[in-house]
Amino acid sequence: MLNLIEFLSWIPVITLLIYVPIVCYLDWKYREVEPIYWLGLVLVNVPTMMILFVTTYEWWMFVVSLVAVAIYYGLMLMHYIEGADFMYIMFILLFFVYNPVSGHWLMALPFSIFFAACTGIAGMWILTYNLVKHQEISFDVPRHVPMMFVVSAALILTVMLA
């Protein structure tokens, strides 16, 4: 039987994975995720993370997550990552510190590696599409790319493989 701490360590993973179809649909259909959609994720995970940090997690694990968030924030300021994509990445980095599937800590690093790999693969697909469809070398597509699919793929890979 799971004790309380083991149960609480599953909550961030489960809630982030529940959000995958929601944010992917909203990004695909409307090209944005309204801030109200993040409320449930925050209301469930902030108290959970506070309990876990007081009882189990070390303070420096949160610092590693904050450094990763700062790096992605810089990418957002340079317009490489936009609004809702950054929000989801930020929540993944802040809430997904421990992977209960594998028992590993500091998921910011493997998530960032998988995100870079998924972004590179998406870029190659876009480049191939433009070469075949428009006979030009370009990473531009109409309405931009719904990056929630890339972020979600990186999250799923991190949960399963890291």
Average pLDDT of the chain is: 90
Q: How far apart are CA 61 and CA 52, in angstroms?
A: 11
The encoded tokens of residue 85 equal 């994509």
Q: Does 142 have pLDDT greater than 70?
A: no
Name the pLDDT band for 1 (thresholds 50, 70, 90).
very low
pLDDT at 138: 67
- pLDDT for 4 beyond 50: yes
What would the 3-class secondary structure string for the chain be?
A: CCCHHHHHHHHHHHHHHHHHHHHHHHHHHHCCCCHHHHHHHHHHHHHHHHHHHHHCCCHHHHHHHHHHHHHHHHHHHCCCCCHHHHHHHHHHHHHCCEECCCCEECCHHHHHHHHHHHHHHHHHHHHHHHHHHHCCCCCCCCCCCCCHHHHHHHHHHHHHHC
Average pLDDT estimate for 52-80 = 90
Amino acid 134: pLDDT:
77
Weakest mean pLDDT among 15-19, 44-48, 78-82, 106-110: 78-82
pLDDT band at 161 (very low <50, low <70, confident <90, very high): very high
Proportion of the chain above pLDDT 90, given as a percent: 65
Condensed to tens digits (0 to 9), the pLDDT of residues 85-94 reads: 999 999 999 9
